[in-house]
Structure 1
Amino acid sequence: MDRSKKEKLVAELHETFSNASLVVVTQQSGLTVGEVSELRTQMREAGAGFKVTKNTLAQLALKGTKFEHLADQFTGPTAIAFSDDPVAAAKVSAEFSKKNEKLQIVAGGMGEQALDVDQVQALAKLPSLDELRGKIVGVLQAPATKVAGVLQAPAGQLARVFSAYGSSN
């Protein structure tokens, strides 16, 4: 790989690290092209990304970002999972590593906070932003539905009374 391609790759990785809320460092030894494609698809569907990295280039790209503390984790065949959602990358990485032993979570970072494997696994168990939004909408809609039902009940009862009174005359 020539110098200009390396510089471009470092710049892309630096931008990825700068924009992400969560980065999960993984080791992926022996994953087939099909398995990596499947993992990338799952990441995309969750709003996350997955990149196989060259350690030295990733360490260069980390400089000046909030994830600089992860530089020591880049040893061996590494890849990163990243997302704007503080849960998505951890959730997909954890689920995939359960099914496929070739992918192992090494560490993670949420902003300047370093995460060990157990913390990444705990983060993966939390609901995603979309799931939380859905729960909030459900909570907000439930009282409105109940209010509408209560308001309609007396009108329905009045209609039945008038109907019964009208049919008896």
Structure 2
Amino acid sequence: MAIKLDDKKAIVAEVQEAAKGALSAVVADARGVTVGKITALRKQAREAGVWVKVVRNTLARRAVDGTEFECLKEVFVGPTLVAFSKEHPGAAARIFKDFAKENKNFELKGAAFNGTTVNIDVLASLPTYDEAIARLMSTMKEAAAGKLVRTIAAVRDQKQEQAA
């Protein structure tokens, strides 16, 4: 179906706006996936702060011109589903990767982070903000507990030496 020039400009502007505030992007091919499953994917993405849209390749290429996602131009081939993560860099990759496990027809094409293409698995494995804070706190807690144990042991050893 032909799209009017004004509509094309609006789509490009919408994708550019999404790309400007995004932390990362993931591109996939959703051929063969039912509308119901794609709708569920979009709902899940929306809840995670991920912008998802099916975009024509020429419009997608124009939209990413001048953005940090320009490196994805070569993956805009065939039906294209674009996702931009707004809140967490790994959110879109994690959602798409999980969806691809359940739907064999869903093909992951590429991902970008900080202006370079990255492996989708690496991007999906990034911890969320809360997970990263929890890891940091547990590391700090372990270090403090270990230091306390060593200090108490040193005091004990010192008292044993004085007693001897």
TM-score (norm 2): 0.77
> What letter is aligned with 1:67?
F
Q: Say which of 113, 117, 123 aligns to 2:116.
A: 113
Helix, strand or coil for the counterpart of 2:68?
coil
Structure number with larger C-alpha Rg? 1
Q: Which residue of 2 aligns with 1:58?
A: 60
Q: Unpaired segments of 5 or more residues in structure 1?
A: 147-169
How far residue 74 of structure 1 moved from its aligned partner, in angstroms, is: 0.4
Change (3 A) 1:131 1:45: farther
User: Partners of 1:138 and 1:81 in 2: how far apart?
Assistant: 32
User: Partners of 1:27 and 1:44 in 2: how far apart?
Assistant: 19
Instruction: Note if contact 2:16-2:63 (Cα within 8 Å) is conserved in structure 1.
Output: yes
How far residue 45 of structure 1 moved from its aligned partner, in angstroms, is: 2.2
User: Partners of 1:129 and 1:104 in 2: how far apart?
Assistant: 27
Change (3 A) 1:28 1:112: same
Q: Which residue of 1 aligns with 2:5?
A: 3
CA deviation string 1:65-115 (max 9, x = no partner)? 111111111000111121031111111111110111121111110021112
How far residue 120 of structure 1 moved from its aligned partner, in angstroms, is: 0.9
Q: Which residue of 1 aligns with 2:40?
A: 38
Instruction: Note if contact 2:18-2:51 (Cα within 8 Å) is conserved in structure 1.
Output: no
User: Partners of 1:32 and 1:79 in 2: how far apart?
Assistant: 14
How far residue 49 of structure 1 moved from its aligned partner, in angstroms, is: 2.2
Q: Post-superposition, which runs of at least 4 consecutive aligned residues in structure 1 deviate over 4 A?
A: 134-140
Q: Say which of 69, 73, 79 aligns to 1:67.
A: 69
CA deviation string 1:28-84 (max 9, x = no partner)? 101211111110111122221221111111011011111111111100011112103
Q: Which residue of 2 aligns with 1:27?
A: 29
What percentage of aligned pairs have identical amino acids? 36
TM-score (norm 1): 0.75
How far residue 134 of structure 1 moved from its aligned partner, in angstroms, is: 4.3
Aligned residues: 140
